Structure 1
Amino acid sequence: MTLKKLFTALLFLIFFCNTINAQLDEKKTDSTILSGFSNKNEPGGAFLIAKKGKIIYRKAFGKANLELDVNMTPDHVFQIGSMTKQFTSVAILMLEQQGKLNVNDPVSKYIKDYPSGDKITIHHLLTHTSGIRDFTKMKTLSTIAQKEMKPEMMVDFFKNEPVDFAPGEKFEYNNSGYVVLGYIIEQVSGQTYEDFIKKNIFEKAGMTHSYYATDRQVIPKRAYGYHQKEHGFVNKTVISFSVPFSSGSLMSTVDDMLKWQQALNQNILLNQAETKKAFQKYKLNNGEEFTYGYGWHLKEINGTPDREHGGSIFGFKSMGVYIPGEDIYVIGFSNCDCHSPTEITRNIAKIALQSLKK
């Protein structure tokens, strides 16, 4: 064998070995997902895994619509629930980047009559450390659940409730804080929250199949949401999306969510300094660090740092995991709140981490 042929053979061998090492364990991934989405005649879900922006796994399971017997595809649009908070936090940081607000501003700067608004900052709202009452825990929520609520009406609904703790005293997940953030976005930008997200995030990131949720508008390839009862499945409870608002009212696809992650990675929406704010851990008043940035939980998978967040809204559940050190993104959606993709998404992220590690 000539030296040239030997060199070519060695190059091929190196490439071939690297390709093998970088292959996802698809069979194990399938079986992990099927542990919760095995019945093809039930509501299902969609899952996607990407490495360095390249899709390496993209599959759907079950039905998108039971009445019409429509199979789920990875193209279907899901309500993403609290994953909406990522978009709200980035919108706030975009406005800060434009010099229109500061995350250390008190809420009273934008909502004059907010109780203790001079002590609660935008930072407290972003990090779930404000202490204000979570409207989803209020017994009176059912009285407004199907009403069309303006953002200021939503804020008025909970703002006079007793606080749970002083601002910055503890971390406690809170939907009300993100509703206030949505209202501030409208006040500062002069646009509706829906328009701001559409024009400044969806359009810039190329997310052509993402929407502010609606039950009235015709959404191409919409997955329908379901609950499971003792006698079988029923259509999801109808709510007004103006109630969860900026804490949980967006819709998207697995492909669009990858575009979202790529836009963040490539600083298409935020510069590096603002992006860093979203993904760093912060401290409570007593100096104790907690594992939440701005719109993301900052945790670990098998000792490797990750960023993750789930969502739950009537008829739907969602979960996204990003492993920055390996540039691995995993997203899972379900169109029944009886099937949670949370642990499944984390488990397939573990599989991806093991088989796709550099």
Structure 2
Amino acid sequence: MKKKMVLFMTIFIIVNGTALSQATVVKDSQLAEMDITRQFIQFIEDLRRDLKIPGLSAAMVKDGNVLWAKGFGFANIEKKIVATPETSYYLASLTKTFASTIIMQLVEQGKLDLDTPVSTYNIRIFSPGVITVRHLLSHTSEGQPGTFYSYNGYRFQFLGQVIRKASGRSFKDLLIEKILKPLDMTGTAPNMSAHEYSGSAFARVFENLSQPYALDKNGRIVKGHFHRSFGASGGLISTVLDIAKYDIALQQYRLLRPETQEMAFTPFVSPTGERLPYALGWFSQVYNGVRLIWHYGYYSPSISTLILKAPDEKMTLIVLANTDALSRPFPIGDGDVLNSPLAAAFFRMFIFPRKTGRTLAAVNWKSTREEITSQLEQEKDEHALDLYKKEMMSYWRVLHTMGHKEKASRLREVYSSFFPEKKQAASQKRRAIGKQQQVPVVGSDLKLIMMVCFVIFMLGFIMWPVGKGIRFLEKRKTKNAGTGKQKSGLRAAATFIAWLNGVLGLFYVAVTIFRGGLEFLLKNGFGEKQYAEVKLIFATIPLAFGCISILLVCFTFWEWKKRNRSVMGRWFYTVFTAGSLVLVFVCYHWYMVLLA
């Protein structure tokens, strides 16, 4: 009996000891994670101060739950309103992920084929190939479609027209019905004017909207402007808590089927087999064996946002700010999210330990060269060093952008000595590929013709008032002498016609060359909304001064026949007329290119 009691007590002690040991391990793990979270939250606050961001909000999602959410600084400095997780911000290009989700839902419903040419939806874009919906959605529509990545928010905006044509409803209506309402995203709204949201269901969203800010040339924080545009490319307003709801719904496949969502997250592959940095409405990359799905928002000078998903780790970081400083200094648009100090720190503190079982110590990049070098020399792991390299360069950009030249220079020296640069970084390679394959939309010969015409028109504007002034002085002299001669009405009318032609010509040149209208429309295309504007610029105006040019031709012949002017004056009108006619033909050439 005693032996049984001893055996029972032994088993009881072992079992309870094991359970207590496991509980201790779990508790220690939780305490360690809480400590890392506190460190990361402090890092966000330090970065906010370094970048002079008045206010931002951040949240982290883990295993389908909001791990933490917090506000930093002020949503409105003047009114002393602090930023909270409920503060709403402009999302800028994070809106693109919502447009992608709506489009992929239409694909699931059989209403849309991603390989349909966009011309089917009355979208006109100058291209040597056929541009499809997939190309717009993946930012691969420039040059020969599908060959390289080039971020183009303007072209992405046309997907709103695709959605309307394919479904019969607007992107805004589908967004509200298919995403915002089902997920109870009450802190989210499409952007609209003040009189539209007043008294609407979205009124609270705009009441909680953070005041946009910017930095002036002296680095002082000044008020920015509220924006009112909305479309597939940008314009949504939301909170970190609502974006967390959206993220969790994506994780749980409540918005898209798993295979459809995987399609949206899979990066575009070029004909040469190159994996491009963008998928279908999302950036997609693999770093150290970890898949990262993300998007950033940037609208100068008052908007910067980031959502970074590690789907296999079931972790997401969401950050929204009321200046552009989270995005502007960092080349994350090249396709590497780890160019952002926030993303690099998040990966180092949360993802790297999960993948490797070890933590990486934080480096104070503002410390001395010796301290930074000493800490880096202790690390031997290649992956860890590469992560430090990215974090160091991202913080160099912080220091450089904010005018801390001495610290930035010191950090750059450490970087150059510890991480010798390769001949060509991946981001530089991507830019080089894009540059090589770009197809010029306006030939150099046509640009030369336009510039010659511009010079002629400028001469007209200079010479006409000068000549007018000289004639006025001569008229006064002859009048005083009592021998004044009345100027004929015909000559006055002809001079006015020449001047008017110059006005129209100069206006056209200003629109197409100096405001970039022609290049912009040829490069980015236009949809139904822009059709009337394009028609006006590239048809009506050329027609108007084309008709005037006919009168100018008659006037030029009349001047040579009557010899009422000097030889110099007659040649001026001749060249002026020739330039005008050439310009008309050039205008109509571009008109045919755009609208044919």
Q: What is the deviation of 1:207? A: 1.7
Q: Which stretch of structure 1 is more off in the superposition, 113-122 or 195-204?
A: 113-122
Find the aligned partners of 1:257 and 1:202 in 2 and give their Cα distance: 10
Runs of 5+ unmatched residues, structure 2 = 1-8, 198-202, 329-339, 358-596
Q: Of 240, 247, 250, which residue of structure 2 is paired with 1:264?
A: 250
Q: Is the CA contact (8 Å cut-off) linking 1:108 and 1:118 kept in structure 2?
A: no
Amino acid at match of 2:180: F
Map Cα deviations across residues 295-350 of structure 1 (whole Å, 9 max, x no partner).
Answer: 21112455422111110124121011111121011111111123449421442243
Higher strand share: 1
Partner of 1:168: 146
What residue in structure 1 maps to residue 75 of structure 2? 64
For 1:112 and 1:308, how far apart are their aligned partners in 2? 28
Q: Are 1:184 and 2:162 an aligned pair?
A: yes
Q: Bigger CA drift: 76-85 or 41-50?
A: 41-50
Higher helix share: 2
> Conserved in 2, the CA contact under 8 Å of 1:278 and 1:293?
yes
Q: How far has the Cα of 1:5 moved from its partner?
A: 5.0
TM-score (norm 2): 0.51
CA drift of 1:241 comes to 0.6
Report the AA paired with residue 193 of structure 1: F
Q: Does 1:104 align with 2:105?
A: no
1:221 aligns with 2:208: yes
Deviation at 1:212, TM superposition (A): 0.7
**Secondary structure of residue in 1 paired with 2:351:** helix
Q: How many corresponding residue pairs?
A: 323
Matched, 1:347 2:357: no
Q: How do 1:1-358 and structure 2 match up within 5 A?
A: 1=9, 3-4=11-12, 6-22=14-30, 23-24=33-34, 25-38=36-49, 43-111=54-122, 115=126, 119-131=130-142, 165-214=143-192, 216=194, 217=197, 218=203, 219-229=206-216, 230=218, 232-242=220-230, 245-314=231-300, 315-340=302-327, 342-355=340-353
Instruction: Give the letter aligned to residue 224 of structure 2.
Output: K
2:392 aligned residue: none
- TM-score between the two structures when normalised by the length of structure 1: 0.82
Separation (CA, whole Å) in 1 of partners of 2:326 and 2:275: 32
Return the offset for 1:180: 1.0
The 3 A distance-change label for structure 1 pair 270 and 6 is same
Contact 1:87 1:197 survives alignment (8 Å): yes
Aligned in 2, Cα 1:318/1:346: closer, same or farther, shift over 3 Å?
farther
CA shift, 1:20, in A, is 2.7
Return 5+ residue gaps in structure 1 as ranges: 132-164
- Compared with structure 1, are the counterparts of its residues 215 and 45 closer, same or farther at alpha carbon in structure 2 (3 Å cutoff)? farther
**Identity rate of aligned residues, in percent?**
26
Task: Report the AA paired with residue 8 of structure 1.
Answer: N
Question: Counterparts of 1:339 and 1:306 in 2: how far apart (Å)?
Answer: 18
Larger gyration radius, structure 1 or structure 2: 2
- Calculate the aligned-residue CA RMSD, in Å: 2.5
Q: 1:30 to 1:9 in 2, by over 3 A?
A: same
Range with greater deviation from structure 2 (225-234 or 174-183): 225-234
Residue of structure 2 equivalent to 1:136 = none
Residues 305 and 326 of structure 2 are in contact (CA less than 8 Å); yes or no, is this contact kept in structure 1? no
Cα 1:77–1:239 shift into 2, 3 Å: closer
Distance of 1:41 and 1:117 partners within structure 2: 45
Query: CA offset at residue 83 of structure 1?
Result: 0.9
Alpha carbons of structure 1 residues 42 and 118: separation in structure 2 relative to 1, 3 Å: closer
> 1:93, 1:274 within 8 Å by CA — same for their partners in 2?
yes
Question: Is the contact between residue 57 and residue 85 of structure 2 (CA under 8 Å) also seen in structure 1?
Answer: yes
Q: CA deviation at 1:76?
A: 0.6
- 2:312 maps to a residue whose letter is G
Q: 1:213 to 1:12 in 2, by over 3 A?
A: farther
Higher relative contact order (CA 8 A, sep 6+): 1
Which amino acid letter does the alignment assign opposite residue 45 of structure 1? L
State the AA in 1 paired with 2:107: E
Deviation of 1:42 after TM superposition, in Å, equals 5.9
Looking at structure 2, the residues matched to 356 and 206 of structure 1 have their Cα atoms a distance apart, in angstroms, of 32
Cα distance in 1 for partners of 2:20, 2:161 equals: 57
Q: Is the 8 A contact 1:49 1:55 kept in 2?
A: yes
Letter in 2 for 1:290: L
Q: Distance in 2 between matches of 1:349 and 1:212?
A: 31
Change (3 A) 1:44 1:100: same
Output the amino acid matched with 2:221.
F
